[in-house]
Structure 1
Amino acid sequence: MEMSDRDTHNAESNFSLFEDCLASRVFVLPSVSDPEGDSEDLDEFSLYIAQEAWLALPSKIRELTFTISPIPEADEVVLDIQPSSTDSTDTLATYGLISSGDSDESHTFLRYVLISYISLATKPPPAWSSTRTNECEICSREVPLTYHHLIPRSTHERVIKRGWHPPEMLNNVAWLC
């Protein structure tokens, strides 16, 4: 199955989000909270772990959006991941983040990462009124603004039919002069 540009962008965005969730979990662990440690090494390490764990996740988790319903639970996802399907357990143990070879501890570690990731990936965009700016989003002038749909509502049906935009893009808006 060929991925569209939108799917590729969503997958890259979700991986970046997953990596950030994993990195924040790694950075709070006592074994890596050395203030004199090299942050670049920690960044590379968290990227490596994220890449290993990401490939082991089911595609339905890698493709989450705020329009997904029902939202999956982290406990359900962890059960889908078998210890043999990822080398993350060995890597986490090598760096002292979990007990040596303890797949249950690896699942617990990943569960906390998934809880953060799922909540962020499925979080809806902010309400339109909270996005109001002081300047036009196109010309940056500070003049009275109005709220505009970037894809006019009257064209939504045609836009979907012709595949110009995915349904989740239809209600994108901007504050314009």
Structure 2
Amino acid sequence: MTERIPENEQTNYEVFRECVAEPVLKALAEPEEKPKRSRDKKKETRARRHGKNHLYENEKAKQNGQREDEPLGNGNDAEDLGDFIDYLSTDLFTSIPPALRRLTPTAFNETPSLQNAYTLPLPAKTATHLLATLSPTALQTLESYALLPSHCDSLSLSSFFLPIFTSYITSTTTVPQIPIWSTTRTSACELCQREWIPLTYHHLIPRSTHVKVLKRGWHEERKLGSVAWLCRACHSFVHRVATNEELARWWWSVELLEEREDVRKWVDWVGRVRWKAR
């Protein structure tokens, strides 16, 4: 996309981009190879993944009159993916209502119409309107590369986009808190080391396990407030690879998480995804 985001929307755009990146990264991250998989199936999966990792380049090629199936440059896959997420996020962000693009805690708390429209869970009327405003180009791109089913219905759109909108609205309407551990905040994700993207705090010992942790003596009480500052993608990945109880008992520090092979592979891959400067 060549269209630039206005300066007064840049901060919200960066939040929105991370919200879009999470499901895209989840869908495109290389899964562990399953045993007893046929050679043809492996080739098919590799070919499909290779195509997805060059989504943005294919979009640019089509815009320039190049055939989609022509060979593309052998650029860094993660960099290509970062370009694609930029392209997709910009296309989607500029298609949503201006009031949503400029949403802030102050505007939300002082404007009844915004509260009526964007209080979570989203009212059905708002959800329907947001889905109807989505860029047709972005939807076609998502369908073309199997991130959305072909000829997807409203249920498929809702399943993919409503979590994105919910995460975005939560981030842009919540007044930042100043917790006791705010002094531990880092400038980069503690796993992938990416900077310039929004960070979230991950409770290393999930709060839902605190009673069990103390009862069974897994950790001292002073450890319960420990957090790590992670980007959305890494935060979501950590919660996919282990249950809350497993995180509390075995993976309760950044160092322990880094010892996991799946986490190391993820960090090596996602750490190479770089956003374009604007």
Q: State TM-score, norm by structure 1.
A: 0.59
* Residue 127 (structure 2) aligned to one of 62, 66, 78: 78
How far the C-alpha of 1:103 sits from its partner, in A, is 4.3
Equivalent residue letter for 1:33: A
The CA distance in 2 between the partners of 1:123 and 1:84, in whole Å, is 24
SS in 1 for 2:94: helix
The CA distance in 2 between the partners of 1:50 and 1:17, in whole Å, is 10
* Aligned match of 1:99: 149
SS in 2 for 1:57: coil
Distance change in 2, residues 1:90/1:127 (3 Å) = same
SS in 2 for 1:111: helix
Given that residues 93 and 99 in structure 1 are in contact (C-alpha distance below 8 angstroms), is that contact kept between their aligned partners in structure 2?
A: yes
How far the C-alpha of 1:10 sits from its partner, in A, is 3.8
Q: How does 1:133-172 map to 2 (within 5 A)?
A: none
Cα RMSD between the aligned structures?
Answer: 2.7
Question: Which of structures 1 and 2 has the larger relative contact order (alpha carbons within 8 angstroms, sep 6+)?
Answer: 2
SS in 1 for 2:81: helix
How far the C-alpha of 1:83 sits from its partner, in A, is 6.4
SS in 1 for 2:176: coil
* Aligned match of 1:33: 29
The CA distance in 2 between the partners of 1:13 and 1:84, in whole Å, is 20
Equivalent residue letter for 1:16: E
* Residue 99 (structure 2) aligned to one of 46, 60, 70: 60
Q: State TM-score, norm by structure 2.
A: 0.39
How far the C-alpha of 1:129 sits from its partner, in A, is 6.6
Given that residues 93 and 101 in structure 1 are in contact (C-alpha distance below 8 angstroms), is that contact kept between their aligned partners in structure 2?
A: yes
The ranges of structure 1 where at least 4 consecutive aligned residues each deviate by more than 4 angstroms after the TM superposition are: 128-133
Given that residues 15 and 168 in structure 2 are in contact (C-alpha distance below 8 angstroms), is that contact kept between their aligned partners in structure 1?
A: yes
Q: Which runs of 5+ in 2 are unaligned?
A: 1-5, 32-48, 54-76, 110-114, 185-278
SS in 2 for 1:56: coil
Q: Which runs of 5+ in 1 are unaligned?
A: 1-7, 134-177
Given that residues 143 and 151 in structure 2 are in contact (C-alpha distance below 8 angstroms), is that contact kept between their aligned partners in structure 1?
A: yes
1:15 is the counterpart of 2:66:
no
Identity across the alignment (%): 25
The CA distance in 2 between the partners of 1:48 and 1:132, in whole Å, is 35
How far the C-alpha of 1:57 sits from its partner, in A, is 0.7
